[in-house]
Amino acid sequence: MPRQSCALFFAFLLLCPFPAIAQIIPDNTLGAESSRSVSDTINNLPSDRIDGGATRGSSLFHSWREFNIGEGRGAYFENPRGITNIFTRVTGGNQSNILGTLGVLGNANLFLINPKGIVFGPHARLDVRGSFLASTADSIVFKNGVEFSSANPQGAPLLTVNIPVGLRFRENPGAIVNASSVTQVIEGTTLPVGLAVPPGQTLAMVGGDLIFNNGFASASGGNIQLGSVASPGVVSFNITPIGLGLDYTNVANFGNIELSGLSAVTASGPGGGAIALRGGNVTLRDRSSLVSDTIGSIDGRGINIEAARFSLLDRAFVGSITKGSGAGGPIEVRTAE
């Protein structure tokens, strides 16, 4: 069985029903500033309301032994006044299964890292107002080399101002699986949007193998970044006019990105959003698609794919057209073959 098929098979075993267990468990590595979760009903959904954590300047840090969300449930992070970024790590050695709603009760950006893997199930959805990044990196790197690490979970970085500058990967980062196919009514039509961030925001997924199977990701007029890393190194952050950019200069080897089963990644919207993929083998099959159409008068930003090998199979497609007076964005593909 091919490596990608194996990864997909075993990841989806974890989507099967399992006995009810404690889903979100703090690890107490933050001492007196430990994260807490309490049962609540949020947006008519039985949920874990998450508070506590370590505040450093405009950043809030959370640390968990286990972080899972059951189907039909939510997990919402409190967003204290002045917090613009929420960083959460998982340290317990098990992958995270996000089968329900992951949200923030405010406008902060949310970063989730678990080096053992992250699975977004068919009913997984985001309820955020800012940007969202999911990664199987070992740690988030800050200025001056300070790291917020899952593998070596010390306390929160002792910085007054915490500006993240990248993601550090170790050997064998876990896979990220996206099977989310939740829908949304858009202009009277019910459409699958999957994991979606608000218009103009960034949705980033950077891990080992990146697998979409009937999985959707959306950022209307925003910025979608998908990357697969297969060796130790640091993926650096770049702040661009369209949001968070990723620089892979310090990564030697790349893994697989596969979209199958009618998966779709779309950044269509006013001005047309940006979609960027960076991997070793990048494959779209089964009528899966990457789409960034321009709506309105602003020129589109287009789609960028960089890979050792890029394959379009079984009527899969990549599209960037204009539905307004603005020009459609470019489609750029760079491969070693």
User: In the prediction, which pLDDT does 213 show?
Assistant: 97
Long-range contacts at 322-327 (CB < 8 A, ≥ 24 apart): 322/272, 322/293, 322/294, 323/293, 323/294, 323/295, 324/294, 324/295, 324/296, 324/297, 325/296, 325/297, 326/271, 326/272, 326/294, 326/295, 326/296, 326/297, 326/298, 326/299, 326/300, 327/294, 327/299, 327/300
Residue 160 has what pLDDT?
Answer: 57
Q: Identify the pLDDT of residue 299.
A: 75
- 3-state SS, 10-55, equals HHHHCCCCCCCCCCEEECCCCHHHCEEEEEEEECCEEEEEEEECEE
What pLDDT score does 298 carry? 76
Strand 269-270 with 216-219, pairing? unpaired
**Tens-level pLDDT at each residue, the chain (337 residues):** 444 444 444 444 444 444 344 599 999 899 999 999 999 999 999 999 999 999 998 999 999 999 999 999 999 999 999 999 999 999 999 999 999 999 999 999 999 999 999 999 999 999 999 999 999 999 999 987 889 999 888 776 665 556 899 999 999 999 999 999 999 887 788 888 999 999 999 999 999 999 999 999 999 999 999 999 999 999 999 988 888 999 999 999 999 999 999 999 999 888 778 999 999 999 999 999 999 988 876 777 899 999 999 999 999 999 988 777 677 788 999 998 6
- Cβ atoms of 266 and 329 within 8 Å: the answer is no
How does DSSP classify residue 322?
B
User: Distance (Å, rounded) from C-alpha 283 to C-alpha 318?
Assistant: 11
Phi first, then psi, for residue 38 (nearest 5°) are -130, 145
What are the structural domains of the chain? 3-13+34-335 (2.160.20.10)
- Distances 3 to 51, 79, 209 between C-alpha atoms, Å: 39, 40, 10
Of 20, 47, 54, residue with least CA distance to 102? 47
Q: What is the pTM of this model?
A: 0.92
DSSP state of 77: E
Tokens 């500058």: give the residue: 165
261 Rama class: left (phi>0) / alpha (psi -120 to 50) / beta: left
